[in-house]
Amino acid sequence: MQFNRDEAWKLLNEFTTNPSLIKHGLSVEAAMRAYARYFGEDEETWAIVGLIHDFDYEQNPTESTHLHVGCAILSERGWSEDWILAVGSHADYMGIPRDTPMRKALFAVDELTGFLTACALVRPDKSIADVRIKSVKKKLKDKAFVRAVNRNDVYTGAEALGVELGDHIERVRDAMATVSEELGLPGTS
Protein backbone atom coordinates (compact mmCIF):
# COMPACT_ATOMS: atom_id res chain seq x y z
CA MET A 1 0.00 0.00 0.00
CA GLN A 2 1.17 3.55 -0.67
CA PHE A 3 1.00 5.89 2.29
CA ASN A 4 1.15 9.64 1.94
CA ARG A 5 3.32 12.16 3.73
CA ASP A 6 0.59 12.98 6.26
CA GLU A 7 0.32 9.36 7.31
CA ALA A 8 4.11 9.10 7.55
CA TRP A 9 4.20 12.19 9.76
CA LYS A 10 1.53 10.70 12.03
CA LEU A 11 3.47 7.44 12.26
CA LEU A 12 6.66 9.24 13.26
CA ASN A 13 4.81 11.20 15.95
CA GLU A 14 2.96 8.14 17.22
CA PHE A 15 6.27 6.51 18.16
CA THR A 16 8.49 9.53 18.81
CA THR A 17 8.30 12.32 21.39
CA ASN A 18 11.96 13.44 21.46
CA PRO A 19 12.10 16.72 19.48
CA SER A 20 15.64 15.97 18.29
CA LEU A 21 14.50 12.74 16.71
CA ILE A 22 11.56 14.48 15.03
CA LYS A 23 14.00 17.08 13.69
CA HIS A 24 16.29 14.31 12.52
CA GLY A 25 13.39 12.82 10.53
CA LEU A 26 12.57 16.22 9.02
CA SER A 27 16.23 16.81 8.11
CA VAL A 28 16.57 13.46 6.39
CA GLU A 29 13.23 13.99 4.66
CA ALA A 30 14.41 17.31 3.22
CA ALA A 31 17.70 15.82 2.07
CA MET A 32 15.91 12.87 0.46
CA ARG A 33 13.59 15.25 -1.39
CA ALA A 34 16.60 17.06 -2.78
CA TYR A 35 18.20 13.81 -3.91
CA ALA A 36 14.98 12.51 -5.48
CA ARG A 37 14.90 15.67 -7.57
CA TYR A 38 18.59 15.32 -8.38
CA PHE A 39 18.13 11.76 -9.63
CA GLY A 40 14.74 12.42 -11.24
CA GLU A 41 13.04 9.94 -8.90
CA ASP A 42 9.75 10.09 -7.01
CA GLU A 43 10.08 12.90 -4.50
CA GLU A 44 7.18 11.90 -2.24
CA THR A 45 8.42 8.32 -1.83
CA TRP A 46 11.96 9.35 -1.02
CA ALA A 47 10.72 12.03 1.39
CA ILE A 48 8.53 9.59 3.28
CA VAL A 49 11.27 6.99 3.59
CA GLY A 50 13.55 9.71 4.97
CA LEU A 51 10.94 11.00 7.39
CA ILE A 52 10.18 7.62 8.95
CA HIS A 53 13.57 5.89 8.72
CA ASP A 54 14.15 6.13 12.50
CA PHE A 55 10.51 6.15 13.64
CA ASP A 56 11.03 3.18 15.98
CA TYR A 57 14.37 4.37 17.37
CA GLU A 58 13.13 6.12 20.51
CA GLN A 59 11.45 2.96 21.75
CA ASN A 60 14.04 0.60 20.24
CA PRO A 61 17.47 2.19 20.40
CA THR A 62 19.60 -0.96 20.20
CA GLU A 63 20.98 -2.93 17.28
CA SER A 64 18.90 -5.90 18.27
CA THR A 65 15.66 -3.90 18.18
CA HIS A 66 15.95 -0.71 16.03
CA LEU A 67 14.53 -1.50 12.56
CA HIS A 68 13.83 -5.11 13.47
CA VAL A 69 10.79 -3.80 15.36
CA GLY A 70 10.16 -0.88 13.00
CA CYS A 71 10.15 -2.94 9.83
CA ALA A 72 7.80 -5.48 11.44
CA ILE A 73 5.40 -2.67 12.37
CA LEU A 74 5.49 -1.26 8.84
CA SER A 75 4.86 -4.68 7.42
CA GLU A 76 1.91 -5.32 9.76
CA ARG A 77 0.42 -2.00 8.76
CA GLY A 78 0.65 -2.81 5.10
CA TRP A 79 3.52 -0.60 3.98
CA SER A 80 5.03 -1.70 0.73
CA GLU A 81 8.06 -3.97 0.75
CA ASP A 82 10.17 -1.53 -1.26
CA TRP A 83 9.80 1.18 1.32
CA ILE A 84 10.36 -1.17 4.25
CA LEU A 85 13.58 -2.50 2.74
CA ALA A 86 14.77 1.02 2.02
CA VAL A 87 14.14 2.03 5.64
CA GLY A 88 15.86 -1.11 6.94
CA SER A 89 18.86 -0.74 4.66
CA HIS A 90 20.24 2.30 6.50
CA ALA A 91 21.78 0.11 9.21
CA ASP A 92 24.58 -2.23 8.15
CA TYR A 93 23.54 -4.86 10.68
CA MET A 94 20.21 -5.40 8.90
CA GLY A 95 22.18 -6.92 6.01
CA ILE A 96 19.95 -5.34 3.35
CA PRO A 97 22.03 -4.39 0.30
CA ARG A 98 22.14 -0.69 -0.50
CA ASP A 99 21.73 -1.34 -4.20
CA THR A 100 19.19 1.30 -5.24
CA PRO A 101 19.68 5.06 -5.47
CA MET A 102 17.07 5.57 -2.72
CA ARG A 103 18.90 3.28 -0.31
CA LYS A 104 22.26 4.83 -1.15
CA ALA A 105 20.91 8.33 -0.65
CA LEU A 106 19.32 7.49 2.70
CA PHE A 107 22.60 6.11 4.01
CA ALA A 108 24.57 9.03 2.60
CA VAL A 109 22.44 11.73 4.21
CA ASP A 110 21.64 10.08 7.55
CA GLU A 111 24.81 10.85 9.51
CA LEU A 112 25.55 14.02 7.57
CA THR A 113 22.30 15.72 8.64
CA GLY A 114 23.28 15.23 12.28
CA PHE A 115 26.74 16.55 11.63
CA LEU A 116 25.38 19.63 9.82
CA THR A 117 23.00 20.27 12.72
CA ALA A 118 25.98 20.28 15.08
CA CYS A 119 27.86 22.62 12.72
CA ALA A 120 24.92 25.05 12.76
CA LEU A 121 24.53 24.87 16.54
CA VAL A 122 28.12 25.98 17.20
CA ARG A 123 27.53 29.14 15.14
CA PRO A 124 26.49 32.19 17.17
CA ASP A 125 23.50 32.70 14.83
CA LYS A 126 22.64 28.96 14.67
CA SER A 127 21.92 29.35 10.98
CA ILE A 128 21.97 26.13 8.96
CA ALA A 129 21.87 28.13 5.72
CA ASP A 130 25.12 29.88 6.61
CA VAL A 131 27.14 26.80 7.50
CA ARG A 132 30.21 26.88 5.24
CA ILE A 133 31.19 23.82 3.25
CA LYS A 134 34.86 24.41 4.01
CA SER A 135 34.20 24.53 7.71
CA VAL A 136 32.16 21.30 7.56
CA LYS A 137 35.03 19.54 5.80
CA LYS A 138 37.44 20.83 8.42
CA LYS A 139 35.21 19.71 11.27
CA LEU A 140 34.87 16.26 9.69
CA LYS A 141 38.64 15.92 10.08
CA ASP A 142 38.51 17.14 13.67
CA LYS A 143 37.97 13.94 15.63
CA ALA A 144 37.09 15.81 18.80
CA PHE A 145 34.09 17.51 17.16
CA VAL A 146 30.90 15.44 17.55
CA ARG A 147 32.60 12.10 18.06
CA ALA A 148 29.25 10.32 17.72
CA VAL A 149 29.14 10.94 13.98
CA ASN A 150 30.89 8.19 12.09
CA ARG A 151 33.13 9.99 9.57
CA ASN A 152 33.61 6.88 7.55
CA ASP A 153 29.86 6.58 6.96
CA VAL A 154 29.83 10.17 5.67
CA TYR A 155 32.72 9.57 3.26
CA THR A 156 31.69 6.11 2.04
CA GLY A 157 28.05 7.19 1.79
CA ALA A 158 28.87 10.03 -0.60
CA GLU A 159 31.21 7.82 -2.56
CA ALA A 160 28.65 5.03 -2.97
CA LEU A 161 26.09 7.60 -4.09
CA GLY A 162 28.55 8.85 -6.68
CA VAL A 163 28.65 12.44 -5.52
CA GLU A 164 31.59 14.64 -4.68
CA LEU A 165 31.81 15.33 -0.94
CA GLY A 166 31.59 19.13 -1.20
CA ASP A 167 28.57 18.97 -3.52
CA HIS A 168 26.96 16.46 -1.22
CA ILE A 169 27.43 18.63 1.87
CA GLU A 170 26.10 21.65 -0.03
CA ARG A 171 23.01 19.82 -1.31
CA VAL A 172 22.13 18.46 2.12
CA ARG A 173 22.76 21.80 3.81
CA ASP A 174 20.57 23.63 1.30
CA ALA A 175 17.84 21.03 1.72
CA MET A 176 17.93 21.41 5.50
CA ALA A 177 17.80 25.19 5.09
CA THR A 178 14.38 24.84 3.42
CA VAL A 179 13.02 23.58 6.75
CA SER A 180 15.26 25.68 9.01
CA GLU A 181 12.31 26.97 11.09
CA GLU A 182 11.12 23.45 11.89
CA LEU A 183 14.69 22.46 12.71
CA GLY A 184 15.12 25.42 15.05
CA LEU A 185 18.08 26.62 12.96
CA PRO A 186 16.65 29.63 11.14
CA GLY A 187 19.53 32.00 11.79
CA THR A 188 19.13 35.68 12.33
CA SER A 189 19.08 36.99 8.80
Q: Under the rule (CB under 5 A), what is the footprint of Fe ion? A: 54, 110
Minimum distance, C-beta of residue 176 to Fe ion, in the bound complex (Å): 14
Minimum distance, C-beta of residue 145 to Fe ion, in the bound complex (Å): 19
Q: Looking at beta carbons only, is 61 or 166 nearer to Fe ion?
A: 61
Dihedral class, residue 126 (left if φ above 0, else alpha if ψ from -120 to 50, else beta): left
Q: Looking at beta carbons only, is 100 or 187 nearer to Fe ion?
A: 100
Q: Looking at beta carbons only, is 104 or 189 nearer to Fe ion?
A: 104
**String of DSSP letters for 18-87:** -HHHHHHHHHHHHHHHHHHHHHT--HHHHHHHHHHTTTTTTT--STTTTTHHHHHHHHHTT--HHHHHHH
Minimum distance, C-beta of residue 66 to Fe ion, in the bound complex (Å): 6
Residues ≥6 apart with Cβ < 8 Å to 142 = none
Q: Looking at beta carbons only, is 5 or 130 nearer to Fe ion?
A: 5
Minimum distance, C-beta of residue 24 to Fe ion, in the bound complex (Å): 6
